[in-house]
Structure 1
C-alpha cells in the first residue's frame, strides 16, 4: 500500500526551517552583541536619520516574530506536498526574499551600532535592503528547484470519449503562452522607470533592489511554455517544469472557450474549486485536460484543437496497448 505524502522534505527545510533559523539568529546575535550596544538602540530611521529608540532585546523579539509570521507564513505552503507545485515554488521564493530582507536589515542595523555611544548617530544601512532581498530570493530559488510534485496520480483505465477530438500526432507541440517579448519589455519599463526616477530624486537607490527581484517573479508568472508530447502535457516556467500531467493518467482532453476574468476571476495561473486549475492568459480557445485522479487543467492556447486531438489519440493508443487491442486510427 502506498502512503500519501503530506510533507515535502525540501519544502519543510527551506519553508519552515530557514525562517525559524533566521528568527533564532536575530535573537542569538542580539544577545551576543548586547554588551557592545547602547542601552537604547536606534530602531527606526526617517531617511538616514534615526528617530526612534528602544531596547535591543525588545527590537530583536519583534523582528524574530515578524520573520516567523510574515516570512515563514509565506513559505509554509512549500512544505505541503499535495499543494500545487508552482504555487509552492513562488511562495517559497517570495517568503525567503522577505525573510532575507528583514534578517539582513536588522543585523546590519545592529552591527552599525556596535561600540557606538550615541545611537542617534547610527547610519541606516541602506545597502542591506537590496543585499537581503537578493540573497533571500537566491536561496529561495535554490529551494524551489528542490521541491517535488507529490500529488497523487491515478492511472486512467479507459480511452477518451469517442466524441472528443482526435488528430495527427506530430509531437512535440510547443507553444509559448502569456506575454510576448515586447509586452514584457513594456511592463519592465513601466515598473522600473518610475522607481529609478524616484531614486534619482531622493538620492537613494534601495528601491530598485526590491523592485527588481519582485518584478522578476511577477513577470515570470506571465510567460509559460506549454508542451504536449508522448509523455503527456507539461508547463515549463523559468527553466523548470511547473505543471506535469502524464499520459497514463489523462482521461480526456477537450476544447472550450475561456474568458480569464469572467470564468476564472483573473489572469495567469488560477484555482477554481478543488482540483480545478487554469493557466489562462487570454480570451479564446483552451484545452481542458482531465485526469483519473479528478484534476481538471485548463490552458488557453490557439493550438487547443491540435493539442486535444494529439492527447486523445495518444490516450487511445495507450488504452489499446494495455488491452492488447488495435490502436484507434487517427482522423485525417
Structure 2
C-alpha cells in the first residue's frame, strides 16, 4: 500500500516534542528554584572545584539551547516518515541520549546548589552523566520501537525472470551477517567495557560504565544484522527491530553476485549508494540482490545468498501467479 505521509507521528512526539519539553522543563525548574539559588551558580567544574559561573536563568536558557540544537537536532530525523527506518531509529536513540544527559546534569547541578551560600564549595555528582545517558537511551529505544516505515509500496506486475535461480522446495532462509556473537562481545569489550573501566579507575567512580557501555552497545548493534527470507518476503532485523522489509508482492526478482563492500558501496554495514540503492554489506563474497517494483534495490552479502535468491524467486512465482 502506498503512503504519502511526510511525518511519522511517533517520530514527531519522541524526536521533536520531547527535546523541546525537556528544554523547557529545565527553564521552568530553574525559575521555580531561583529564589533558593545563589545569584551566580556554578556551571562548570574541573576535577576538583567549579571554574565557571553564571546567573541561573542565563544558564537555563543555555542548557535549553544546547538541548534543542544537539539532542533535538539528532532526534528530529525520526519524524521524517520517508527516511530510512534504521537511520531514524539510530538517530532517535543518539539524540535522546544527549537530551537525557543534558537534562539530568542540569537538574542535579541546580539541586546541589539549593540554599548554598558559596557555590564554589559545591561538587557536581559525576554519576549524573551515566544516569542521564541511560535514561535517554531507554526512552530513545521505546520511541524507536514505535517508529514505522512509511515508504511507498508497489506491487510487482509479473513473475521473476525465468533465468533467475529458483528453489525446488522453497523454505525459510535466515542468516546472521556482520559480527557474530563472539565478535560482538569482543567488540563491546574493546569499545565499551575496557575504556569504561579505565576511566572508572581514573575518576574512582562507576558512572563511566553507564556512558561507555550504552555507546558500545549501539555501535555493536549497527554492525550485526539478522536477515530472514520467507514466504512473506525479506526483512533485515537490527537491534531486535525490523530495519528494512520488502513484501513478496513487491519483489520483481532476486539474483546473486559477488560484492566487495568498500569497492561497491564505499563502506561496511548498512549502506546507501545513490537513490534507493541499499546494501547490508558485511563481507566480500556472494550477495543476494533484490529488485522491487517501487525501484528500490537491496543487496545483502551472505554465505546463503544463493538459497535466499532461490527462495525469494520461488515464493514470488507462487504469490504472483495466485488468482
Please state whether the residue corresponding to 1:39 is helix, strand or coil: coil
The aligned runs of 1:290-309 (5 Å cut-off) are 290-309=291-310
In the alignment, the residues of structure 2 paired with residue 3 and residue 310 of structure 1 have an alpha-carbon distance, to the nearest angstrom, of: 28
In the alignment, the residues of structure 2 paired with residue 275 and residue 20 of structure 1 have an alpha-carbon distance, to the nearest angstrom, of: 32
* Counterpart position of 2:233: 232
Q: Please tell me whether residue 26 in structure 1 is matched to residue 26 in structure 2.
A: yes
* Counterpart position of 1:73: 73
Q: Is the 8 A contact 2:280 2:299 kept in 1?
A: yes
* Counterpart position of 2:210: 209
Please state whether the residue corresponding to 2:270 is helix, strand or coil: strand
* Counterpart position of 2:271: 270
In the alignment, the residues of structure 2 paired with residue 48 and residue 271 of structure 1 have an alpha-carbon distance, to the nearest angstrom, of: 47
* Counterpart position of 1:260: 261
The aligned runs of 1:16-165 (5 Å cut-off) are 16-165=16-165
Q: 1:206 Cα deviation (Å)?
A: 2.5
Please state whether the residue corresponding to 2:196 is helix, strand or coil: helix
Q: Please tell me whether residue 317 in structure 1 is matched to residue 279 in structure 2.
A: no
In the alignment, the residues of structure 2 paired with residue 201 and residue 21 of structure 1 have an alpha-carbon distance, to the nearest angstrom, of: 35
Where do 5+ consecutive residues of structure 1 fail to align? Answer: 323-332
* Counterpart position of 2:4: 4
Q: 1:311 Cα deviation (Å)?
A: 0.8
If the length of structure 2 is used for normalisation, what is the TM-score? 0.96
Q: Is the 8 A contact 1:48 1:124 kept in 2?
A: no
Please state whether the residue corresponding to 1:306 is helix, strand or coil: helix
In the alignment, the residues of structure 2 paired with residue 146 and residue 285 of structure 1 have an alpha-carbon distance, to the nearest angstrom, of: 34
State how many pairs are aligned. 322
Where do 5+ consecutive residues of structure 2 fail to align? Answer: none
In the alignment, the residues of structure 2 paired with residue 169 and residue 104 of structure 1 have an alpha-carbon distance, to the nearest angstrom, of: 56
Q: Is the 8 A contact 1:254 1:288 kept in 2?
A: yes
Q: 1:2 Cα deviation (Å)?
A: 6.5
In the alignment, the residues of structure 2 paired with residue 48 and residue 209 of structure 1 have an alpha-carbon distance, to the nearest angstrom, of: 22
In the alignment, the residues of structure 1 paired with residue 126 and residue 52 of structure 2 have an alpha-carbon distance, to the nearest angstrom, of: 17
Q: 1:310 Cα deviation (Å)?
A: 1.1
Cα distance change on mapping 1:48 and 1:25 into 2, 3 Å: farther
* Larger CA deviation: 1-10 vs 21-30: 1-10
Q: Is the 8 A contact 2:234 2:246 kept in 1?
A: yes
Q: 1:189 Cα deviation (Å)?
A: 2.0
In the alignment, the residues of structure 2 paired with residue 95 and residue 169 of structure 1 have an alpha-carbon distance, to the nearest angstrom, of: 46
If the length of structure 1 is used for normalisation, what is the TM-score? 0.94
Cα distance change on mapping 1:218 and 1:160 into 2, 3 Å: same
- Root-mean-square deviation (CA, aligned residues, Å) is 1.4
Q: 1:201 Cα deviation (Å)?
A: 3.0
* Counterpart position of 1:176: 176
Q: Is the 8 A contact 2:233 2:246 kept in 1?
A: yes
Runs of 4+ in structure 1 over 6 Å off: none
Q: Is the 8 A contact 2:130 2:210 kept in 1?
A: yes
* Counterpart position of 2:286: 285
In the alignment, the residues of structure 2 paired with residue 229 and residue 148 of structure 1 have an alpha-carbon distance, to the nearest angstrom, of: 21
Please state whether the residue corresponding to 2:322 is helix, strand or coil: helix
Q: Is the 8 A contact 2:281 2:300 kept in 1?
A: yes
Please state whether the residue corresponding to 1:155 is helix, strand or coil: coil
Q: Please tell me whether residue 194 in structure 1 is matched to residue 195 in structure 2.
A: yes
Q: Is the 8 A contact 2:259 2:287 kept in 1?
A: yes
Q: Is the 8 A contact 1:169 1:314 kept in 2?
A: no
Q: 1:170 Cα deviation (Å)?
A: 3.3
